[in-house]
Amino acid sequence: MTIMLVDTENLEIAVSISASMISKIYVGKRVPIDRPAIKYRTIGKIKAVIPDANPMTHKIQIRIEFDHRNRDIFPGMYAKVLIHDK
């Protein structure tokens, strides 16, 4: 049996984006988040940019923090994030 511990107090969203967008993103940038399964929309902030691109996909990962208090949001749930290139 495998047990996985999860910190539900500090959830974040991990997003893979094209490495060509790295000049358009930065820590602190606000991004809209949509959680369609629970009809929840909010604004998150980019918490980290991991600049090591995947050599196969040419994508980098960013991590986004958001306010999820008083919501039924759990690890593994689907979210949509819109990152504007401005």
pLDDT (tens digit per residue) in 38-53: 888 889 999 999 988 8
Confidence of residue 64 (pLDDT cuts 50, 70, 90): very high
The three-class DSSP label of residue 73 is coil
Q: Which domains does the chain have, with CATH numbers?
A: 12-81 (2.40.30.170)
- pLDDT per residue as tens digits for the range 15-40: 999 988 888 899 999 999 998 878 88
Cα–Cα distance measured from residue 70 to residue 33, given in angstroms and rounded to the nearest whole number: 16
At residue 3 the predicted structure's pLDDT band, cuts being 50, 70 and 90, is: low
Q: Does residue 53 contact residue 67 with C-beta atoms inside 8 Å? A: no
pLDDT of residue 72: 75
| pTM: predicted TM-score of the whole model, two decimal places | 0.80
